[in-house]
């Protein structure tokens, strides 16, 4: 108790200099059924990349084929070695008091060739043992079917640009529901399609490194929403009656704040929301692509001399099939940007470009605390994002499936992380109590320091430090782990909360 008290006093003093100016913490309790947990993903922690019958996946191939594209040529071959140390992870979650653990299944670990005619039973056994252990410790497994690690055979067929992938994904999803549905009641189909489609198939900054800047994102988005809908309908019709679970998709977005109150900046911020979040959320929660996306891409495609829009047109049958395929709204978010109009929708006609289709320009406030380009301490933006999701998509239940702080050292005295998470959780409570947003859970990223994609092990987001220099991958809880443990125990962010 003395350790917690000393830590809280230090945090209060530190936050006065590091945290948001004049920030006032919400002093209400978390609602009785509100869930507080932690997250990881298979490729980022499991390791054992070629053990026990596992097939090669996209990130295995990418890190081995293009080592120069990863900081310090790191790979996820061993990562946190959670394939062998999963019992340690469960113990950490149990001691933390986590209500749930968001994790993902490695498609190629259970289907080495991506198809259901070659099931790797050792991979199936690994996940069953893990899910059983979580349940035995009163931790709900919140399971993502796909977190970026596509089996290499499907990548060789065109990956997320090939509509046939939706059928392969549907087969894989059905198998997972059959094998693991006894233990898993919260399913997520796909993680962050915007990151996959923009980074992997448009800008080339993530695996597979494609640079189809004018149409790759749109084709990838089409295949994602179709694959998601197929998996949802399979669960809804074939498994929900007996298993009584629920299913959604995880979308990712920062908060686009208009740079000024000028009408053009207000429109630019809304356009950014639709091109980043709405392009996936609109078909699922409202039906069809957002109007501004259809208009802008169609308009620029015509001016570029194309016979049809670079945005695939959804048929009426597809609109109906995709619409309504979610039981709740999952959002990953880390930062905020200001947006203004770049006036490119009718100008600069030449090479097709997603950025020119949007016609927006972004910048950040240099005073916002940050260690990396994609995470900034802007808690008011988080609150606005939660309210926007609530208002825009017909008041769904909202679940924050990822949010966390990045540093470059992984030190144990990670007070910056505590400040970030505490301010974001406070803003979440503001959204719940003041804005009537039905937000029901929060999942910190991440339980462990892990392989952060092209950043390798240079960026640390874990509550628990992992020593990647030692073969045994030693795990050591940070100050943020003990702080979060106390928050989960007391259901409160301050010394004394009120009902």
User: Which residues have a catalytic role annotated?
Assistant: 192, 402
Structure tokens at 314: 């959804």
Are 97 and 489 in contact, with CB atoms under 8 Å apart?
Answer: yes
Give Dmax over CA atoms of the chain in angstroms: 70
- Rounded distance between C-alpha atoms, residue 126 and residue 179, angstroms: 12
- Rounded distance between C-alpha atoms, residue 480 and residue 493, angstroms: 13
Question: DSSP label at 276?
Answer: I
3-state helix, strand, coil in the chain (%, to 5): 45, 15, 40
| Cβ neighbours, 10 Å, residue 395 | 13
Q: Is the peptide bond between 208 and the residue preceding it cis, with omega within 30 degrees of 0?
A: yes
**Beta strand pairing call for 246-252 and 186-191:** parallel
All residues at 6 or more sequence positions from 210 whose CB lies less than 8 Å from its CB, including other chains: 161, 200, 201, 202, 204, 216
Candidates 335, 336, 341, 357; CA nearest to 266 is 341
Are 380 and 427 in contact, with CB atoms under 8 Å apart?
Answer: yes
Q: Give the angle subtended at the CA of 144 by the CAs of 138 and 150, to the nearest 5°.
A: 145
Q: Is the peptide bond between 446 and the residue preceding it cis, with omega within 30 degrees of 0?
A: yes
Chain centroid, CA 122 distance in Å: 27
Helix (H) or strand (E) holding 329: strand 329-332
Q: Half-sphere exposure of 62 toward its Cβ, with a 13 Å CA cutoff?
A: 24
- Rounded distance between C-alpha atoms, residue 369 and residue 458, angstroms: 18
Helix (H) or strand (E) holding 213: none
All residues at 6 or more sequence positions from 429 whose CB lies less than 8 Å from its CB, including other chains: 26, 28, 30, 493
Structure tokens at 100: 């749930």
Helix (H, G, I), strand (E, B) or coil at 125: helix
Tokens 């399609």 map to which residue?
A: 193
């Amino acid at each position: 108790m003395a350790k917690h008290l000393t830590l809280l006093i230090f945090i209060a003093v530190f936050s006065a200099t590091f945290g948001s100016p004049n920030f006032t913490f919400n002093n209400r309790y978390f609602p009785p059924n509100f869930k507080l947990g932690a997250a990881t993903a298979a490729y980022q922690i499991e390791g054992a990349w070629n053990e026990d019958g596992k097939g090669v996946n996209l990130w295995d191939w990418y890190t081995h084929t293009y080592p120069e594209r990863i900081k310090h040529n790191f790979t996820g071959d061993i990562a946190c070695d959670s394939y062998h140390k999963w019992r340690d992870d469960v113990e950490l979650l149990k001691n933390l008091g986590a209500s749930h653990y968001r994790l993902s299944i490695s498609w190629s670990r259970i289907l080495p060739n991506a198809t259901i005619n070659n099931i790797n039973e050792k991979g199936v056994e690994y996940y069953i043992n893990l899910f059983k252990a979580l349940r035995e410790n009163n931790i709900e497994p919140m399971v993502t079917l796909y977190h970026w690690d596509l089996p290499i055979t499907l990548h060789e067929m065109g990956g997320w640009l090939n509509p046939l992938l939706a059928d392969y994904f549907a087969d894989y999803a059905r198998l997972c529901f059959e094998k693991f549905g006894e233990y898993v009641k919260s399913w997520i189909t796909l993680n962050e399609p915007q990151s996959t489609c923009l980074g992997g198939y448009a800008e080339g900054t993530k695996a597979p490194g494609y640079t189809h800047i004018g149409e790759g994102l749109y084709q990838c988005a089409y295949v994602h929403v179709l694959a998601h809908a197929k998996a949802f309908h399979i669960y809804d019709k074939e498994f929900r009656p007996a298993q009584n679970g629920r299913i959604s998709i995880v979308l990712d977005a920062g908060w686009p704040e208009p740079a000024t109150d000028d009408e053009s900046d207000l429109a630019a911020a809304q356009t950014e929301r639709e091109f980043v979040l709405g392009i996936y959320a609109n078909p699922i929660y409202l039906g069809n692509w957002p109007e501004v996306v259809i208009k802008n891409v169609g308009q620029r495609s015509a001016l570029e001399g194309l016979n049809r829009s670079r945005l695939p047109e959804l048929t009426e049958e597809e609109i109906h099939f995709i619409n309504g395929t979610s039981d709740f709204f999952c959002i990953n978010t880390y930062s905020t940007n200001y947006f203004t109009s770049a006036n490119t929708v009718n100008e600069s006609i030449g090479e097709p470009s997603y950025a020119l289709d949007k016609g927006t320009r972004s910048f950040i406030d240099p005073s916002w605390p940050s260690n990396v380009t994609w995470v900034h301490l802007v808690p008011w933006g988080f609150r606005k994002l939660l309210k926007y999701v609530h208002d825009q998509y017909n008041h769904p239940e909202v679940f924050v499936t990822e949010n966390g702080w990045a540093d470059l050292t992984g030190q144990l005295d990670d007070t910056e992380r505590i400040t970030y998470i505490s301010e974001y959780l406070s803003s979440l409570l503001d959204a719940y109590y003041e804005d009537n947003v039905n937000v029901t859970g929060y999942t910190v990223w991440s339980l462990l320091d892990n392989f952060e994609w092209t950043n390798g092990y240079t960026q640390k987001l874990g509550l628990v430090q992992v020593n990647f220099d030692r073969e045994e991958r030693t795990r050591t809880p940070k100050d943020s782990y003990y702080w979060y443990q106390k928050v989960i125990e007391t259901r409160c962010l301050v010394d004394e909360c009120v009902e």
